[in-house]
């Protein structure tokens, strides 16, 4: 059975209307021709009248041809575009709207009136409304404050705005799948995945209390049914499957139940996959000809790391841990946990662990630290470890790393200088902090700071 679309119905209506007009024109032409024939046969100047009529008909035919080509058969003109040279800016905008018909339409209409294009839209349902997150492409000449006020005047409340980049053009499902893949391949990716999921935030891990057992993410969900019920909605607490708690803080932007559910899904995935470690192993040849293996280290290497500590001199341990030598062993469990960063181990051909390199997530900063067993120092192992740690930091999207050492530790200073990166030195009370600036992974430089809240009325 055939069904007619609205477009086909309108086409048939135009077709019958045109046929009726042509029939009417034909009868009119016949009547006019009969009238002209009577004038030619019975009028005094029939020849002149006939010639004048012919010229008139030719002129009318020419005008009809020109008009038809211009309005019916001429190709469409180029679409309207923004004036040449007009620049645009990407923005991420989040606002709260009443969950009523037309509230979102008012915001979209207001944005269109300011020539702002809505690239993507995500909706986070709440109990008494919705949080709508937009990715906008706005004229560069449009101030951020004017954009926020436009949304507020259209009914948006608690409007929040920040600059976006090309990475934000990825839709939410694709981003979640990519983050889940990274988390499945490497447990150390969970804090980084949470950071990328929520944007500008701070991730910290709190170790489990003595005697406490690591709970599952599902148990944590039962204890904390929703972040919105917390007196601090900008803080999210998640049970770490490996023990302790993962705390996510984001200033000025409360977490929604949708965001909490996404974070909990990543944590549950990590818990179900259990202990795992990337199998990549890099074999390097030292200048003297010995081969060493550089690989990822984890909690399973705790005993081997303790044995290496026993073979290290007090001076080596003190230079690495900046404290009493007897406390060095206490840091190993923290350093080997994937929640606090990434650790690389160096093994000899016989499988003996002789060096460790740590990349530690310190809020928005990233610390690198090295320890090499005394008998294996000054063979290029520290430089190889440091270069690999810097690569890991760059892959994670970090823009700098820093090392804390004593001002007398010339070996560490020389190793940092071998990176061929811009370095900054800060010296205080004999402690030297060396910061290396990493090349931007996106080539766009550091992201601008987020703008503060702009509060508008609810409508």
Q: What is the pLDDT of residues 146-183, one digit of tens each?
A: 998 999 999 998 888 888 877 777 778 888 888 888 88
Q: What residue spans of 231-313 are helical by DSSP H?
A: 257-273, 302-311
Kindly provide the b/e burial profile for residues 253-263, where b requires at least 16 CB atoms within 10 angstroms of the residue's own CB: bbbbbbbbebb
The pLDDT value recorded for residue 202 is 81
359's CB contacts (< 8 A; 6+ apart) are: 341, 342, 343, 366, 367, 368, 389, 392, 393, 401
Give the pLDDT score at 446.
37
218-258 pLDDT tens trace = 333 334 333 333 447 888 888 887 777 888 888 778 888 88
41 by Cβ neighbours in 10 Å (0-12 / 13-18 / 19+) ranks as: exposed
Low-confidence ranges of the chain (pLDDT < 70): 1-27, 29-31, 33-37, 39-58, 61-85, 207-231, 325, 363, 440-459
**Is 203 in contact with 246 (CB distance < 8 Å)?**
yes
Measure the CA angle with vertex 434, ends 428 and 438; round to 5°. 150
Domains present along the chain, CATH in parentheses: 88-169 (3.30.70.260), 172-273 (no CATH), 281-437 (3.40.630.30)
The pLDDT assigned to 5 comes to 44
User: What values do phi and psi take at 3, rounded to 5?
Assistant: -120, 140
Q: Which of 353, 388, 386, 379 is closest to 287 using CA atoms?
A: 379
Q: What is the pLDDT of residue 111?
A: 92
Question: CB 275: neighbour CB atoms within 10 A?
Answer: 11
Half-sphere exposure of 314 (CA within 13 A, CB side): 4
Q: Residue 85 carries which DSSP code?
A: T
Q: Please, which residues have CB within 8 angstroms of residue 181's CB and are 6 or more apart in sequence?
A: none
What's residue 57's pLDDT? 65
Report the pLDDT value the prediction gives residue 42, as an integer from 0 to 100: 64
């Amino acid at each position: 059975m055939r069904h007619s679309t609205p477009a086909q119905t309108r086409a048939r209506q135009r077709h019958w209307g045109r046929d009726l007009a042509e029939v009417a024109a034909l009868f009119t032409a016949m009547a006019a021709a009969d009238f002209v024939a009577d004038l030619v046969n019975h009028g005094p100047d029939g020849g002149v009248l006939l010639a004048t009529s012919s010229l008139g008909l030719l002129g009318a035919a020419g005008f009809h041809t020109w008009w038809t080509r211009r309005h019916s058969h001429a190709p469409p003109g180029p679409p309207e575009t923004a004036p040449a040279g007009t620049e645009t800016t990407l923005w991420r905008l989040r606002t709260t709207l009443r969950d009523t018909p037309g509230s979102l339409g008012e915001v979209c209409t207001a944005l269109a009136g300011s020539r702002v294009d809505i690239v993507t839209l995500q909706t986070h349902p709440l109990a008494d409304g919705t949080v709508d997150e937009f990715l906008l492409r706005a004229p560069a000449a449009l101030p951020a404050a004017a954009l926020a006020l436009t949304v507020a005047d259209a009914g948006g409340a608690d409007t929040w705005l920040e600059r976006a980049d090309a990475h934000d053009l990825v839709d939410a499902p694709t981003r979640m799948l990519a983050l889940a893949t990274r988390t499945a391949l490497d447990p150390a990716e969970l804090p980084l995945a949470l950071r990328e999921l929520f944007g500008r935030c701070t991730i910290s891990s709190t170790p489990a209390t003595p005697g406490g057992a690591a709970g599952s993410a599902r148990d944590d969900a039962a204890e904390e049914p929703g972040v919105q019920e917390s007196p601090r909605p900008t803080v999210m607490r998640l049970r770490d499957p490996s023990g302790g708690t993962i705390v996510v803080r984001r200033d000025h932007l409360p977490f929604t139940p949708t965001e909490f559910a996404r974070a909990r899904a990543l944590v549950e995935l990590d818990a179900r996959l259990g202990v795992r470690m990337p199998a990549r192993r890099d074999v390097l040849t030292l200048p003297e000809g010995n081969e060493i293996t550089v690989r990822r280290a984890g909690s399973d290497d705790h005993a081997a790391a303790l044995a290496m500590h026993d073979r290290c001199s007090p001076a080596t341990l003190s230079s690495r841990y900046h404290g009493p030598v007897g406390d060095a062993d206490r840091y190993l469990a923290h350093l080997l946990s994937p929640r606090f960063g990434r650790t690389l181990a160096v093994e000899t051909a016989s499988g003996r662990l002789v060096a460790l390199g740590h990349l530690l997530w310190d809020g928005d900063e990233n610390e690198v630290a090295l320890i090499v067993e005394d008998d294996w120092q000054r063979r290029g192992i520290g430089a190889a470890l440091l270069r690999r740690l810097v690569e890991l930091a760059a892959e994670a999207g970090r823009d700098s790393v820093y090392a804390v050492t004593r001002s007398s530790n010339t070996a560490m200073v020389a190793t940092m200088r071998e990176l061929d990166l811009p370095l900054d030195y800060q010296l205080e009370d004999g402690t030297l902090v060396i910061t290396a600036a990493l090349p931007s992974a996106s080539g766009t430089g550091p992201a601008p700071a987020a703008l503060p809240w702009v509060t508008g009325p609810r409508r």
